[in-house]
Structure 1
Amino acid sequence: MTADSGVSEKAKAVLAEIAAALERYIAGGEGWTIYINKMGLAQEERQAIRDCLGQGGIRINLEKSDEPAEWLESGVAGVWYGVFYDQSRRPLLETIEVGRFPAIAAAQPEDMTGGLDALRQQLVEL
């Protein structure tokens, strides 16, 4: 950790990457994912990043899946904390995603097709 701000150079670099990704997203809609637990950051550095970004009020849960996940909005609009779990709810992967919402949380075309088929069947049965 540095003496002046208490935030390490590695944490500052991640925050700068997030800022650059958010700038790119605003300019052209390009989302970005940082695999935060794969970066060799100490727990204090990861916490410093979270502290700097703050916490928003939105939580997205993906529960009906072999790999459940959740995303929390940070205090910076367009920046999301993501955690992917194994079937025992142990964290497998932690991400910071930049975008309107986490891309994997969006409805997938095959799921929409399945939903449409189910709705059509229900309409036939009415």
Structure 2
Amino acid sequence: MKPGFWIAPEGAEQPVSVFPIGEEALDVQYKGLTASGALAKLATLDSEELARSCPRAVELLSTIASAIGSQAADAPTQLFRLEGLNDLERRLIDDVLGEGEVAGVVALPDGSLAQIQESVLAGIWRIRLERDESHDYIEIGAVPEIVARAAIDLTAGDVVIGPAPEGTMNALPVLAEIRERALAWRPGQRSQTINFTLLPMSPVDMSFLQQTLGNGPIQLMSRGYGTCRVLATGVRHVWSVQFFNAMDTIILDTLEVGGVPVVALAAPEDFEDSAERLKQIIEAYFT
């Protein structure tokens, strides 16, 4: 097993199972394209014909471009449903938005999953609810509301610390610190980090920590500068944040106490940049 707060069960390499968000039944020539490849494909098509064939998709993209330009990181998210769009229009939106750095899943109370995929335009997200394909929508914001809500509504409000197993060294004081910080944290405050890479924690300590905090409903992966896995624990405001190198070895293993970790959030400056880039795409391909 790998060291770290979160240990993959049965030797699994990836704790996060990220499902495809795009139109799985679309024509093969469109599937698997990167963002640059998708736009290159668009460049070979007749822009006037695209605009005539997909007027609602082009209108929706224009609306999103205007909306994200005025979005603030701490403001409520804006949601745009895709009902009424045909397969060609959905495919066009998939091609324009592409797949960005952050993806993941949220486990819902009914046992289904919500699939999360950031677009190549940071701050624009694609969300699909597994239980109902009609719940397929685009959301603008620092992080989708379903992630922020699940982090609060589907986790425990306190840490229940049971008897420590034999061989425990430092887990009890660390758990007491986590509990104190989690109960005291309020929105707007900075997150606090506990770095296990620097702490003298035994395998028994780490196992007891994981068992005590439990697994939460959110699993996210960011592939920006290296790979980062963000997992909500079963305790409100407590997150496992792990950074991995190219060999999939943990190089930084932390718990963060606070809101959704910043590594999974769109930055304030991303909104204006994404608005400008999306407007350029619309002007280049659809006008």
TM-score by length of 2: 0.39
Residue in 2 aligned with 1:11?
171
1:1-126 equivalences under 5 Å are 5-6=164-165, 8=168, 10-26=170-186, 29-63=189-223, 65-125=224-284, 126=286
For 1:30 and 1:66, locate their aligned partners in 2 and report how far apart those are by CA, in whole Å. 22
Distance 1:27 1:119, change over 3 A: closer
Does the 8 Å contact 2:170/2:200 carry over to 1?
no
Does the 8 Å contact 1:69/1:83 carry over to 2?
yes
Secondary structure class of the residue paired with 1:48: helix
User: Higher Cα Rg: structure 1 or 2?
Assistant: 2
- Percent identity among equivalent residues? 26
Distance 1:99 1:114, change over 3 A: same
Shift of 1:110: 4.3
Secondary structure class of the residue paired with 2:170: helix
Letter in 2 for 1:86: N
Normalized per residue, which structure has more helix? 1
Q: Which moved more, 1:10-19 or 1:20-29?
A: 20-29
Shift of 1:19: 1.1
Letter in 1 for 2:228: A
Secondary structure class of the residue paired with 2:197: helix
For 1:121 and 1:50, locate their aligned partners in 2 and report how far apart those are by CA, in whole Å. 47
Deviation per residue, 1:90-123 (Å, 9 max, x gap): 2111110111211221112344443223212122
Deviation per residue, 1:16-71 (Å, 9 max, x gap): 111121122138633211111210101110111111001112101002x2321001
Of the two structures, which has the highest relative contact order with CA contacts closer than 8 Å and spacing of 6 or more? 2
For 1:28 and 1:18, locate their aligned partners in 2 and report how far apart those are by CA, in whole Å. 18
For 1:120 and 1:31, locate their aligned partners in 2 and report how far apart those are by CA, in whole Å. 35
Normalized per residue, which structure has more strand? 1
Q: CA RMSD in A?
A: 2.0
Structure 2 alignment gaps of length 5 or more: 1-162
For 1:52 and 1:44, locate their aligned partners in 2 and report how far apart those are by CA, in whole Å. 12
Letter in 1 for 2:172: K
Letter in 2 for 1:83: Q
Structure 1 alignment gaps of length 5 or more: none
TM-score by length of 1: 0.84
Secondary structure class of the residue paired with 2:185: helix
Secondary structure class of the residue paired with 1:26: coil
Distance 1:28 1:16, change over 3 A: farther
Q: Which moved more, 1:27-36 or 1:116-125?
A: 27-36
For 1:26 and 1:66, locate their aligned partners in 2 and report how far apart those are by CA, in whole Å. 29
